[in-house]
């Protein structure tokens, strides 16, 4: 369902942007690299009715997408924030249309939109989940497990998460670390809902290797090919029994529409950052729901800000598969919100307070801040 009731307008006074370096509890390895610290941008919208918070989920290097933190900082401070401040008073639904002339940079746009949305909803006393159309008060929690030293180490890592109660395991794969890793996890945990994520590490030349994964009863294979390989994903999907799910390729409602029309995906990972905001994410949810295509909420190692918003999004009715909406402790010893998301019976609660429904821990925020800029009208 489209947003039922728009949010009230806010009078913008400025934006504060910060780059944070938040240490991870353990290195996170994917087919594109290893991270030990989460470098992320936190946005604070300053309005006459109070502040709102957002998160720009870029990573330090353009390896997952073309966006990266310093690029997002540059485009936000040079173009996006001035365009919003030039408007002054605006509703959250106006943010994307105002920023539309600037090509791409969807993660930067999404973080700014979320900050305005949070400010507007806090001022109205309305929870984000209710605004987006949430139908659940908690969401089943999956975990994304990075590539480990060897398959045995992967099995032990997965065991730890299953002991904590996570209801679905996703393992990262890459060429040379695919069939054996998946086989090891499947052999040890026969009944566990399991999926794999390749982060674009393959080409159609690998089609027979990818078909070997069919025997592991996977929920899906996520983004085996490149971001713009839509037709190749359709070809691959015809060759596999494992459902093909797209992540990187789904950068907009239009991209999702085209991917479904071409048969390139039978499942969609929705990430608000990647698609330019939570409002576009809802539109993709609606499209997939009308097409009976299951969706799930992806993650970008969000801090407590983005994590709260993801829990709200994942509570929409079309999110029929567990998302990468883990407890904060999956990635962080210390978060920047006062009540980080916890795992309860394999679920994460949808916050019920106004806006994001989480409060910032100002000391933690300051401790992790490595750069800060305030732009005023």
Residue 80 DSSP class:
I
Strand order in the sheet with 194-197: 142-145, 168-172, 194-197, 221-222, 244-246, 267-270, 295-297
C-alpha–C-alpha distance, residues 72 and 58, integer Å? 7
Which residue's Cβ lies closest to Mg ion?
247
Contact 275, 281 (CB under 8 A): yes
The residue ranges of DSSP E strands in 163-255, in sequence order, are 168-172, 194-197, 221-222, 244-246
Contact 114, 355 (CB under 8 A): no
Residue 197 as a binder of Mg ion (CB under 5 A): the answer is: yes
Out of Mg ion, ligand OSB, none, what residue 266 binds, judged by CB under 5 to 8 A for its kind, is none
> Out of 109, 170, 174, 271, which one is annotated catalytic?
271
Out of Mg ion, ligand OSB, none, what residue 361 binds, judged by CB under 5 to 8 A for its kind, is none
> Out of 109, 170, 172, 174, which one is annotated catalytic?
172
Out of Mg ion, ligand OSB, none, what residue 64 binds, judged by CB under 5 to 8 A for its kind, is ligand OSB
174 is catalytic: no
Beta-carbon contacts of 248 under 8 Å, excluding residues fewer than 6 positions away, are 64, 65, 199, 200, 223, 226, 227, 274
Contact 196, 173 (CB under 8 A): yes
Return the number of the residue (227 or 324) whose C-beta is nearest ligand OSB.
324
CB of 145 to ligand OSB, least distance (A): 9
Q: Which residues pair with 296 in a beta bridge?
A: 269
Return the number of the residue (122 or 177) whose C-beta is nearest ligand OSB.
177
**What does each C-alpha distance from 351 to 167, 322, 359 come to in angstroms?**
20, 17, 11
Q: Which residues pair with 245 in a beta bridge?
A: 222, 267
Out of Mg ion, ligand OSB, none, what residue 29 binds, judged by CB under 5 to 8 A for its kind, is none
Out of ligand OSB, Mg ion, none, what residue 47 binds, judged by CB under 5 to 8 A for its kind, is none
Return the number of the residue (300 or 343) whose C-beta is nearest Mg ion.
300
Place of tokens 């173009």: 79
C-alpha–C-alpha distance, residues 60 and 39, integer Å? 6
CB of 177 to ligand OSB, least distance (A): 15
Return the number of the residue (47 or 65) whose C-beta is nearest ligand OSB.
65
Contact 56, 107 (CB under 8 A): yes
Return the number of the residue (301 or 309) whose C-beta is nearest ligand OSB.
301
Q: Which residues would be at the binding site for ligand OSB (CB under 6 A)?
A: 64, 144, 197, 199, 247, 298-301, 324, 326
CB of 114 to ligand OSB, least distance (A): 16
**CB atoms inside a 10 Å sphere around CB 130:** 17
CB of 32 to ligand OSB, least distance (A): 8
254 is catalytic: no
CB of 335 to ligand OSB, least distance (A): 13
C-alpha–C-alpha distance, residues 92 and 103, integer Å? 19
Out of Mg ion, ligand OSB, none, what residue 151 binds, judged by CB under 5 to 8 A for its kind, is none
**CB atoms inside a 10 Å sphere around CB 282:** 23
Return the number of the residue (148 or 199) whose C-beta is nearest ligand OSB.
199
Residue 302 as a binder of Mg ion (CB under 5 A): the answer is: no
What are the φ/ψ torsions at residue 195 (nearest 5 degrees)?
Answer: -145, 165
CB of 170 to Mg ion, least distance (A): 8
Residue 247 as a binder of Mg ion (CB under 5 A): the answer is: yes
Question: Which residues are identified as catalytic?
Answer: 172, 271
Residues at the site binding Mg ion, with contacts judged by CB under 5 A:
197, 222, 247
């Amino acid at each position: 369902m489209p947003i039922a009731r728009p949010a009230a307008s806010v009078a913008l006074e400025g934006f504060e942007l910060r780059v944070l370096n938040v240490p991870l509890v353990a290195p996170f390895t994917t087919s594109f690299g290893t991270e030990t610290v989460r470098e992320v941008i936190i946005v604070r919208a300053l309005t006459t009715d109070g502040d709102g918070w957002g998160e720009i989920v870029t990573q330090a290097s353009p390896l997952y997408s073309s966006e990266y933190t310093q690029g997002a900082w540059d485009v936000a401070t040079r173009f996006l924030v001035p365009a919003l401040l030039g408007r002054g008073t605006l509703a959250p639904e106006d943010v994307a249309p105002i920023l539309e002339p600037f090509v791409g940079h969807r993660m930067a746009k999404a973080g700014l939109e979320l900050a305005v949305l949070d400010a507007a909803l806090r001022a109205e006393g309305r929870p984000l989940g209710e605004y987006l159309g949430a139908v659940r008060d908690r969401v089943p929690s999956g975990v994304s497990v990075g590539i480990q030293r060897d398959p045995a180490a992967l099995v032990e890592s997965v065991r730890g998460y299953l002991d904590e109660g996570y209801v679905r395991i996703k393992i990262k794969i890459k060429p040379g670390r695919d069939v054996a890793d998946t086989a090891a996890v499947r052999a040890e945990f026969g009944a566990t809902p399991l999926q794999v994520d390749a982060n674009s590490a393959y080409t159609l030349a690998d089609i027979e290797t990818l078909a070997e994964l069919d025997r592991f009863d996977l929920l899906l294979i996520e983004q085996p090919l490149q971001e713009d390989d839509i037709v190749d994903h359709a070809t691959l999907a015809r060759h596999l029994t494992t459902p093909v799910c797209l992540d990187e390729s789904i950068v907009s409602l239009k991209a999702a529409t085209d991917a479904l029309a071409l048969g390139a995906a039978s499942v969609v990972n929705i990430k608000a950052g990647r698609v330019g905001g939570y409002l576009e994410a809802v539109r993709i949810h609606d499209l997939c729901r009308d097409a009976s295509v299951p969706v799930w909420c992806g993650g970008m190692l969000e801090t407590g800000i983005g994590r709260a918003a993801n829990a709200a999004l994942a509570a929409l009715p079309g999110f029929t598969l567990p998302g990468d909406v883990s407890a904060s402790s999956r990635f962080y010893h210390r978060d920047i919100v006062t009540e980080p998301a916890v795992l309860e019976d394999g679920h994460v609660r949808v916050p019920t307070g106004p806006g994001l429904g989480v409060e910032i821990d100002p000391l933690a925020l300051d401790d992790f801040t490595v750069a800060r800029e305030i732009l005023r009208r």
